[in-house]
Amino acid sequence: MSRTQNGGGQVLFGEPIRPIRYYDLYGNWTAGVALSVYQIHDPRFPQVRSPLGKLLYKLKYEKDISVLDKIAQTVALAVKRLKVYPELDAIVPVPPSKLNREFQPVIELAKRVSEYTGIPLELNYLVKIKKTPEMKRFKNQSRKLKLLRDSYAVIGNGLEGKTVLLFDDIYDTGATLTACTEKLLSEGKVRRVYVLTVAKTWPCPNYEPTKVHCGKCWLSMKRFKSTQDGNQDL
């Protein structure tokens, strides 16, 4: 399937999807973006999620596959709007952390995104070879990276010299994506790695227990809650 850069119109899911917002992700990859905030990391508001974050929670933890296509089409539209879209040779999903899990959200999303964008999917290129503790228990990036190094491997050289889109559902500290990118570049000899995640957590660096909300961070409780009411673009 041939691909060209496509600004695209709005995709309809019964209701029009709002314009997609890109949040830059920085790491050892060439460039990366998240499409939404998943949940604000603030002990005062443990259950506050964006609209896309809500859908992702339903898919990951409630196994609600009815939202799978909605998320996948949103991601596909975002990919088609990327400047590097015509250059992407393959989608490489981050390997599942729980291999015995019956439903693998990242894999299922990657399959749909590949179908909707025409970008080939490489499911067995980057694999996990060592069991690691559940990463969401650790919030320190360096500690997570130490645990994750050498837990991934590249199979074959099918993407040597290619440009790949490394795909995951949620960006937290970036340790998993960093470890995966290291393997793709060193063992896989890929030319470039771009990263895309459905959402990212939002740590509040200015949190103070005595404040009602953070006055320095644009993602104050008031504004963040507006996303739940549909007033904030995804």
What would the pLDDT profile of 10-69 be if each residue is shown by its tens digit?
A: 332 323 245 567 889 999 999 999 998 776 555 555 566 778 888 998 998 889 999 999
Token pair listed for 183: 């393997």
Token pair listed for 16: 């029009």
Q: Residue 146: pLDDT band by 50, 70, 90 thresholds?
A: confident
- Work out the mean pLDDT of the chain and round it to a whole number: 78
What would the pLDDT profile of 109-119 be if each residue is shown by its tens digit?
A: 999 999 999 99
* Neighbouring C-beta atoms of residue 158, cutoff 10 Å: 14
DSSP state for residue 191 in the 8-state scheme: S
Token pair listed for 91: 């989608």
Report field, pTM of the whole predicted structure over 0.85: no
In sequence order, the 6+-apart residues with CB closer than 8 A to the CB of 40 are 48, 201, 202, 204, 219, 224
Token pair listed for 30: 């060439």
Instruction: Please give the distance of CA 93 from its chain centroid, rounded to a whole number.
Output: 10
C-alpha–C-alpha distance, residues 117 and 4, integer Å: 10
Q: Residue 72: pLDDT band by 50, 70, 90 thresholds?
A: very high
C-alpha–C-alpha distance, residues 91 and 121, integer Å: 5
DSSP state for residue 12 in the 8-state scheme: E
Strands 23-25 and 31-34, bridge-based pairing? antiparallel
- Which pLDDT score is estimated for 47? 62
Distance between terminal CA atoms of the chain?
28
* Domains of the chain by start residue, with CATH: 20-227 (3.40.50.2020)
